[in-house]
Amino acid sequence: MGPSLEPARRHRNPTVAIVAALVALAAPGCDPAGGAPMPGDRADATLAVREVHLVPAHLEPWERSVAATGELAGDERVVLAAKVAGRVESLAVDLGSTVRRGDVLARLESRDFQLRVELAEAAVKAARALLGLPEEQDGVEVDAEQTAVVKRALAELDEARLAHDRIRTLAAEGLDTRAQMDAAEARLRAAESGVQESRELVENRRATLAQRLAELEIARAQLAETAIVAPFDGAVVARRTGTGAYLAQGDAVLELVRTDPVRLALSVPERASSLVRTGQRVRMALEGRPDELEGVLVRVAPALVERNRTLPVEAEFANPDGLLRPGAFARARIVVDDAEQALTVPEEALFAFAGIDKVFVVADGRAAERVVLLGRRAPGRAEVLKGLEPGEPVVLTPGDLSAGTPVRPLP
């Protein structure tokens, strides 16, 4: 039962009695309804001890890399064109076809070119005959002194020389006239000129043979060009013509791309351009692929692009199965130091408030907040640049833990 109102009845003044009753109700430790003292009003109440897992911040190898984005491209991409004019006789491939170097991809009608080859072969035979060379002999090497035209000229020279010597002997004996001597000398000079002329004729015929052989090679090359072959292993990305179409010299037939390896063209920011060099590893992430692919940096431009102050570089990635498609967007990391040490904590130990990253540490048996400056982040871990020392323990998965809460580390 609550405090008695009996004292109020002993006062003659009603107002004084009411005040006395109110003072009695407000006495410390009394429930307004007359019950026992309230537990929440005890000054010696204590907070519950929170059990937590602690993990130390530790140094571990974390490769230093430069982030960049780029686009995959084929190692080579060419448009195959007709080197000679003609009508398309057949096409052996289409969009997406995989080809090997040397495969015949298309053919032009070749009858005209075959006739040109036969015509050139006949011309070569005629030129060889003029020089007296057998058909089975290659090249244009010939001994001019053994050709018929030179042998005849030399024979005529010998005859003229003998006649000249005979007339000169008779003239010395007074048996021939001066006129006969002059005629013999003229015939001798003519025979000497004939030998020179015959040798020049042989050289001219040899040059003609060389010309005919070159014309034959051109005709054969044009015949071979009617077959359009793959210059490298790759795949067809476009067909530019069809069977029966007439192509002029230089008209496009097919577009071909080499897909193994593929190139990744990247733009490195100026601030990191001094860190990259050929031979460094490059890790690439593609949309739709959970794993990272590894390639090699193979080309570094000698100068920055003035427009955006970036350094163009290229990496190569093996693509034997053809799953990497040119044109795909890629995110890449160029590894510039694969042995760098970094102070890390698990991601579960981090929490943020108002954009500030923090962790909980234990000080004098209670939880204490610690502001940290983070660097790189990766699934499961984060780099701490400032705010922790190596080996310093932090609370793992703090949840709703508050600063000042008593904590007990779990074993």
Domain-embedded: residue 355: yes
More confident residue, 48 or 230: 230
| pLDDT range class, residue 316, cuts 50, 70, 90 | very high
Percent of the chain scored above 90 by pLDDT? Answer: 44
| pLDDT range class, residue 137, cuts 50, 70, 90 | low
pLDDT of residue 109: 94
pLDDT of residue 362: 92
Domain-embedded: residue 274: yes
Same domain? 135 vs 205:
yes
Domain-embedded: residue 231: no
| pLDDT range class, residue 13, cuts 50, 70, 90 | very low
Q: What is the pLDDT of residues 321-346, one digit of tens each?
A: 888 888 889 999 999 887 788 899 99
CATH at residue 314? 2.40.30.170
pLDDT of residue 164: 74
CA angle 53–59–62, rounded 5-degree value: 115
pLDDT at 26 over 60: no
Domain-embedded: residue 86: no
Cβ atoms of 343 and 383 closer than 8 Å: yes
**Which range in 2-6, 44-48, 181-185 is most confidently predicted, on average pLDDT?**
181-185
pLDDT of residue 54: 93
Which residue, of 302, 337, 372, is where some domain finishes? 337
pLDDT of residue 16: 39
**Region of poorest pLDDT, from 25-34, 295-304, 392-401:** 25-34
Range of the domain at 143: 110-225
pLDDT of residue 176: 63
Domain-embedded: residue 323: yes
Mean pLDDT, residues 379-408 taken together: 91
pLDDT of residue 63: 81
Q: What is the pLDDT of residues 59-113, one digit of tens each?
A: 988 888 888 989 999 888 999 999 999 999 999 999 989 899 999 999 999 999 9
Same domain? 269 vs 200:
no
Same domain? 168 vs 210:
yes
Domain-embedded: residue 314: yes
Which residue, of 311, 337, 363, is where some domain finishes? 337
Same domain? 144 vs 183:
yes
Mean pLDDT, residues 344-354 taken together: 91
Same domain? 346 vs 371:
yes
Mean pLDDT, residues 364-376 taken together: 91
Same domain? 363 vs 397:
yes
Q: How far apart are the first and last CA of the chain?
A: 52
Which residue, of 281, 310, 337, is where some domain finishes? 337
Strand 341-346 versus strand 381-386 pairing type = antiparallel
Same domain? 156 vs 216:
yes
How distant is the alpha carbon of residue 275 from its chain centre? 19
Same domain? 56 vs 127:
no
Domain-embedded: residue 103: no
Domain-embedded: residue 101: no
CATH at residue 398? 2.40.420.20
Q: Pick the closest to residue 130 from 120, 118, 140 (CA basis).
A: 140
3-state secondary structure labels for all residues of the chain: CCCCCHHHHCCCCHHHHHHHHHHHHCCCCCCCCCCCCCHHHCCCCCCCCEEEEEEECEEEECCEEEEEEEEEEEEEEEEEECCCCEEEEEECCCCCCEECCCCEEEEECCHHHHHHHHHHHHHHHHHHHHHCCCCCCCCCCCCHHHCHHHHHHHHHHHHHHHHHHHHHHHHHCCCCCHHHHHHHHHHHHHHHHHHHHHHHHHHHHHHHHHHHHHHHHHHHHHHHCCEEECCCCEEEEEECCCCCCEECCCCEEEEEEEEEEEEEEEEEEHHHHHHCCCCCEEEEEECCCCCCEEEEEEEECCCCECCCCEEEEEEEECCCCCCCCCCCEEEEEEEEECCCEEEEEEHHHCEEECCEEEEEEEECCEEEEEECEEEEEECCEEEEEECCCCCCEEEECCCCCCCCCEEEECC
Percent of the chain scored above 70 by pLDDT? Answer: 84
pLDDT at 36 over 80: no
Same domain? 269 vs 327:
yes
Structure tokens at 218: 């051109």
Same domain? 186 vs 288:
no
Burial of 227 (0-12, 13-18, 19+ CB in 10 A): middle
Task: Kindly report the pTM of this predicted structure.
Answer: 0.57
DSSP lists the bridge partners of residue 67 as 333
pLDDT at 215 over 50: yes
Kindly give, in sequence order, each residue whose CB lies less than 8 Å from that of residue 23, ignoring residues fewer than 6 positions away. Answer: none
Same domain? 216 vs 176:
yes
**Region of poorest pLDDT, from 140-144, 280-284, 304-308:** 140-144
Same domain? 316 vs 356:
no
| Domain total of the chain | 4
| pLDDT range class, residue 46, cuts 50, 70, 90 | low
pLDDT of residue 33: 41
Cβ atoms of 192 and 157 closer than 8 Å: yes
